[in-house]
Structure 1
């Protein structure tokens, strides 16, 4: 199980769902089929535990809302307007 927002090198997989850890975000992509069987139950437990850890990280870091400005500053988009070359 990863420790959310703790480092930039942890990852885990639940079914075909991939969870990558970074210090400023947790990236989740892929898909998962939770079937009504033992494997589905175990995967649901893992998702529940992961969600709890992510929520706990927010609770433990009440200053997370201060990062909203930092996230906007990390935008890769250009801040300048350019003429449309296709017109």
Structure 2
């Protein structure tokens, strides 16, 4: 499932939530509406994580070593 707020996308995966893009929250009613949408989404993420209980320090793939690749543009 994915939620889009402005230019920000919040996507629910099987073992993580991905947040990408950017958003400018203007000092207006639309900015307030977007801020509330983000707050609701973040609160739901925090609630789900807290309900999991015994979480590991990091997930397995975050411990995987990084590797260098050739820059395709340079």
Q: Same fold (TM over 0.5)?
A: yes
Q: Give the aligned partner of residue 27 of structure 1.
A: 18
Q: Which runs of 5+ in 1 are unaligned?
A: 1-9, 79-87
SS of the residue aligned with 2:56? helix
- Following TM superposition, the consecutive aligned residue runs of length 4 or more in structure 1 with deviations greater than 6 angstroms are none
Q: Give the aligned partner of residue 61 of structure 2.
A: 71
Offset of 1:20 from its aligned partner?
1.0
Query: Relative contact order (alpha carbons < 8 A, sep ≥ 6): 1 or 2 greater?
Result: 1
Cα distance in structure 2, aligned partners of 1:61 and 1:72? 19
With normalisation by structure 1, the TM-score equals 0.66
With normalisation by structure 2, the TM-score equals 0.76
Q: Give the aligned partner of residue 53 of structure 1.
A: 44
Q: Give the aligned partner of residue 36 of structure 1.
A: 27
Q: Which runs of 5+ in 2 are unaligned?
A: 68-74
Q: Give the aligned partner of residue 13 of structure 1.
A: 4
Offset of 1:45 from its aligned partner?
0.2
> Which structure would you say has the larger Rg?
1
Aligned residue pair count: 67
SS of the residue aligned with 1:13? strand
